[in-house]
Amino acid sequence: MDNLHDILCAFSQQFISAKKAPLRKHKLVTTFKTTVPYIEASIKRPDIKVKASPGQGNWADVPWIACFNSESTDSAEEGIYVVYLFSVDMSSMYLCLAQGVTSVRNEFKKETSNELNRRASLIRSRVPSFNTSFTSGPISLGGTTRLAKDYDSAVIWFRKYDLSKLPSNDVLIQDLQESISLYDLVLARGGTDNIETAMRVSLSSITENIEEERRKVRHTKLERNPKTSEKVKHIQGYTCKGCNFNFEKIYGDRGKGFIEAHHLIPISSLKEGQIVSMNLEKDFVVLCSNCHSMVHRGKALLTLEELISLPGVQELRKINR
């Protein structure tokens, strides 16, 4: 098996019989997870994490292979992601843009399905071009568990494949790449965020259009993503790269581990749907709250070099050495 097509065919043909045996150390698990490097090589996106899950502890009703953009999520429990979902009877496979259901279920309980449908409708309205290649969700996987049924409502759009007549590997890869491009567009247009409540209140918002505000919101979300920002801080430390301020030195234990992460590439400079660079060492810098606010103040972001060149910041760098 040297391509995605062959792996998927083999998995679908063997899955139902494999479920009669324990999941742990079953050879089909290894087969299924070899989809990950093939997909990674096909999309060539270091910012996208690929994961394949035939189950955890026990075989899943609905096995899946997902592509997570770290800007949105790195888990199937929340956010938006591209995913292959297999029907319970292994007759069909769906390539979908889907939503994480666990976080929605925890908040909305019995109204989970209605909420997932509402969010899916919002995303479809923001990216209407999806319907040239994909079909509107929901889908029907034939699951009996609550999670499997939630998957049905979580699907925003999909392409359905007959597993007995799976298209060629080239077609599968082309479809996957197209779904990833639409995924990028969804994130650029705000996903499920309501822009009027998500945007930062500022004087500039009076004159800026919705696209400009959306880019500001996206930039802010990128910096505040806790998993990303914590990794940046771990790598770069907790001393401001602008003025050399260190919160722990001034505030003791209360200030220990506190600093903010700033993304150096302004989202406003990128074309809609363009990849947001996520190199934690090169694309981010740690700043104190004051420097971070000043970098963002005004129409154009200050570069780190421009920030450091300010006379007042030069004085602070000497004081905070």
Residues 243 and 145 in one domain: no
Q: Is there a single domain that holds both residue 183 and residue 208?
A: no
CA distance 245 to 250: 9
Which CATH number covers residue 60? 3.30.920.90
Ordered per-residue pLDDT tens for the chain, 321 residues:
679 999 999 999 999 999 999 999 899 999 999 999 999 999 999 889 999 999 999 999 999 999 999 888 989 999 999 999 999 999 999 999 999 999 999 999 999 999 999 999 999 999 999 999 999 999 999 998 899 899 999 999 999 999 999 999 999 999 999 999 999 999 988 888 765 444 444 444 545 666 777 777 778 878 888 888 899 999 999 999 999 999 999 999 999 999 999 999 887 777 777 778 788 899 999 999 999 999 988 878 899 999 999 999 999 999 998
Q: Which of 188, 210, 243 is the last residue of a domain?
A: 188
- Any domain includes 240: yes
Does residue 33 sit in the same domain as residue 163? yes
Instruction: Tell me how many degrees the CA angle 159-55-13 measures, rounded to the nearest 5.
Output: 60
Domain that holds residue 263: 202-319
Beta bridge partners of 50: 67
How are beta strands 80-86 and 92-99 bridged, if at all? Answer: antiparallel
Do 214 and 127 fall into the same domain? no
Which residues are CB-contacts of 55 (< 8 A; sequence separation ≥ 6)?
23, 63
Q: Give the pLDDT confidence score for residue 202 in this predicted structure.
A: 45
How high is the pLDDT of residue 196? Answer: 47
pLDDT at 1: 63
Which residues lie closer than 8 Å to 166 by C-beta, 6 or more apart?
Answer: 5, 8, 9, 93, 172
Any domain includes 81: yes
CB–CB of 66/82 below 8 Å?
yes
Question: Is residue 157 within 8 Å of 137, Cβ to Cβ?
Answer: yes
Tell me: do 179 and 291 sit in the same domain.
Answer: no
Angstrom CA distances, 21 to 26, 55, 61, 205, 230, stand at 8, 13, 14, 59, 41
Question: 195 lies in a domain?
Answer: no
- Residue that finishes a domain, picked among 188, 219, 243: 188
* Residue 194 covered by a domain: no
Please indicate, yes or no, whether residues 156 and 214 belong to a single structural domain of this protein: no
Instruction: Say yes or no: 164 and 287 in one domain.
Output: no
Is residue 15 in some structural domain?
yes
Q: Is the separation of the CB atoms in 182 and 126 below 8 Å?
A: no
Query: Domain check: are 91 and 113 in the same one?
Result: yes
Single out the residue of 134, 70, 71 nearest to residue 97, CA to CA. Answer: 134
Inside any domain, residue 197: no
| pTM listed for this prediction | 0.79
> Residue 208's pLDDT is what?
61
| Number of structural domains the chain divides into | 2
For residue 294, give the nearest of 277, 312, 276, 278 by alpha carbon: 312
- Residue 181 and residue 142 in one domain: yes
Is residue 235 a part of any domain in this protein?
A: yes
20 and 125 co-located in one domain: yes
- Dihedral pair phi/psi, residue 15, rounded to 5°: -60, -50
Pair 120, 34 in one domain: yes
Claim to verify: residue 80 and residue 162 sit in the same structural domain: yes
For CA atoms 198, 203, 207, 211, give the dihedral sign.
negative
Single out the residue in 133, 156, 188 at which a domain terminates: 188
The verdict on residue 16 lying in a domain is yes
